[in-house]
């Protein structure tokens, strides 16, 4: 039976062997939630980029360029890091390059895995179905915050563990911790997260609506998968 593990921060990735595994990169607030929403609303593919200048260079190739640093849209870019960028305006057929504080790094640092998927609460059920069919060991790579543990990404790992229970062994301590944390929080994730560092940061920026949107489960069925430099919907 395949197993599920959880890496609480990309800084811990050197301690894990990703070979032969499927990595699920998660940044619930808000990068992977925004990516799942973008691909569900007409964006054809996404280039997750680490640096601001490399991201901006994609504009010359006809891409929408999105960048966030410390929760706000970076100067000179088309978009920031909100899922509402893809709900409030028709972006059908557009290509997107994006760089954020935590999420894009987590995706890029997971490339030693056999496959890199992008997960969020918004597509947690679809991700569970995908990895169940693949039958490979899974490791959830939490984006965290600037290398530190965060609650929301760990809650996603717990939600995925609950969906995979019975089909995957959940015997790694980090997976058990995430699982029980999610069980404690699932009835009211927003309430559970109300004192978390990220919610406090985003509340100060008056973007509570993003948080509420990003905490919905199974809104979308798209599973973004990394093909070379680009995230595309899994077939
Ligand atoms: O844009 C976000 O919500 C965060 C910014 S911060 O972590 O609150 O500074 O970036 P992300 O890369 O989506 O975690
Ligand atoms: Mg985040």
Pocket test for ligand 1, best of 48, 51, 71, 107 (most atoms within 8 A of CB): 71
ipTM: 0.95
**51/72 Cα distance (integer angstroms):** 15
| pTM > 0.90: yes or no | yes
pLDDT for res 206: 76
Rg (CA), the chain: 16
> Residue whose CA is closest, atom 14 of ligand 1?
102
Q: Which atom of ligand 1 is nearest to the CA of 103?
A: 12
Domain 4-227 adopts which CATH fold?
A: putative 2-phosphosulfolactate phosphatase (3.90.1560)
Q: Strand 4-7's sheet: what is its strand order?
A: 4-7, 138-142, 22-26, 115-119, 224-227, 230-233, 46-48, 96-99, 64-69, 72-73
Q: Which atom of ligand 1 is nearest to the CA of 72?
A: 1
> Residue whose CA is closest, atom 8 of ligand 1?
71
pLDDT for res 214: 97
Ligand in closest contact with the CA of 198: 1
Buried b / exposed e over 82-116, threshold 16 CB at 10 Å, is: bbbbbeeeebeebbbbbbbbbbbbbbbbbeebebb
pLDDT for res 56: 98
| Residue partners of 140: CB distance under 8 A and separation at least 6 | 4, 5, 6, 7, 23, 24, 26, 119, 156, 157, 160, 178
User: Ligand 1 site: residues with CB under 6 angstroms?
Assistant: 27, 29-31, 68, 70-71, 81, 100-103, 143, 145, 198, 201-202
pLDDT for res 110: 97
| Residue partners of 144: CB distance under 8 A and separation at least 6 | 8, 9, 10, 11, 102, 106, 150, 153
Ligand 1 centroid to 144 CA: how many Å?
9
Ligand 2 centroid to 44 CA: how many Å?
23
Cis before residue 28, ω within 30 degrees of 0?
no
Dump the DSSP string for 92-149. TT--EEEE-SSHHHHHHTTTTSSEEEEE-GGGHHHHHHHHHHHTS-EEEEE-TBTTB-
Ligand 1 centroid to 146 CA: how many Å?
9
Q: How far is CA 215 from CA 36, 152, 208, in A?
A: 13, 9, 11
pLDDT for res 103: 95
- Quick check: 96 and 63 in contact, CB under 8 A? yes
Q: Where are the domains of the chain?
A: 4-227
Q: What is the mean pLDDT of each run of 10 residues along the chain (235 residues)?
A: 98 97 97 98 97 97 96 95 97 98 95 98 98 98 96 98 98 97 97 88 83 97 98 96
pLDDT for res 158: 98
pLDDT for res 197: 84
Q: How far is CA 64 from CA 38, 43, 59, 86, in A?
A: 11, 9, 6, 11
């Amino acid at each position: 039976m395949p197993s599920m593990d959880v890496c609480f921060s990309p800084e811990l990735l050197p301690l894990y062997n990703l070979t032969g595994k499927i990595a699920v990169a998660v940044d619930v607030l808000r990068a992977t939630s925004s990516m799942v929403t973008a691909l569900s609303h007409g964006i054809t593919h996404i280039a997750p980029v680490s640096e601001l200048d490399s991201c901006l260079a994609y504009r010359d190739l006809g891409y929408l360029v999105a960048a966030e640093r410390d929760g706000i849209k970076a100067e000179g870019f088309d978009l920031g890091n909100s899922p509402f960028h893809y709900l409030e305006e028709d972006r059908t057929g557009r290509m997107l390059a994006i760089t954020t504080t935590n999420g894009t790094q987590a995706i890029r640092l997971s490339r030693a895995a056999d496959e890199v998927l992008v997960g969020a609460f918004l597509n947690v059920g679809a991700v569970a179905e995908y990895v169940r069919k693949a039958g490979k060991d899974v490791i959830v790579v939490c984006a965290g915050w600037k290398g530190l543990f965060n609650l929301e990404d760990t809650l996603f790992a717990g939600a995925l563990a609950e969906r995979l229970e019975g089909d995957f062994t959940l015997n790694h301590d980090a997976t058990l911790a995430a699982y029980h944390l999610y069980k404690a929080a699932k009835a009211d994730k927003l309430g559970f997260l109300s004192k978390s560092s990220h919610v406090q940061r985003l509340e100060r920026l008056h973007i509570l609506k993003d948080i509420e949107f990003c905490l919905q489960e199974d809104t979308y069925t798209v599973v973004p998968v990394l093909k070379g430099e680009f995230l595309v919907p899994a077939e």
